[in-house]
Amino acid sequence: MIKAMPGRVIIKPNPLSNIYKGFIITMNVNSIPDQGCVIASGVDGINVDDQVIYIKHRVQPVEIADQELVIAKEYDVLAVIE
């Protein structure tokens, strides 16, 4: 079991590859937002199993139990998808 510290969100990434289909991307690939599923949250308003969009280049990638995860700060989460 993973528990996020206050102000942090642990996310299992799910890249937004379909959103950018057909567009020419001229910015750095790391600055493109990513989508993922929250597996632990220490932030009010963001719950486990929420789908979120977060800033890719500001998160800390980690590998826990053979899972690729990222740890994001509260302000790195841009939106919760409902």
- Render pLDDT for 49-59 as a digit per residue (tens, 0 to 9): 999 998 888 88
For the segment 31-38, the average pLDDT, to the nearest whole number, is 85
Please report which confidence band the pLDDT of residue 15 belongs to, taking 50, 70 and 90 as the band edges. Answer: low
Q: Is the pLDDT of residue 24 over 60?
A: no
Q: Is the pLDDT of residue 28 over 80?
A: no
Closest CA to 78 of 9, 5, 6: 9
Residue 39 lies in a domain: yes
Distance CA 15, CA 5 (A): 24
Enclosing domain of residue 73? 8-81
Q: Please, which residues have CB within 8 angstroms of residue 19's CB and are 6 or more apart in sequence?
A: none
Residue 42 lies in a domain: yes
Q: Is the pLDDT of residue 26 over 60?
A: no
Distance CA 22, CA 31 (A): 18
| CATH code of the domain in which 21 resides | 2.30.33.40
Count the domains in the chain. 1
Residue 2 lies in a domain: no
Residue 68 lies in a domain: yes
Distance CA 9, CA 46 (A): 8
The pTM score is: 0.79
Closest CA to 81 of 47, 58, 55, 57: 47
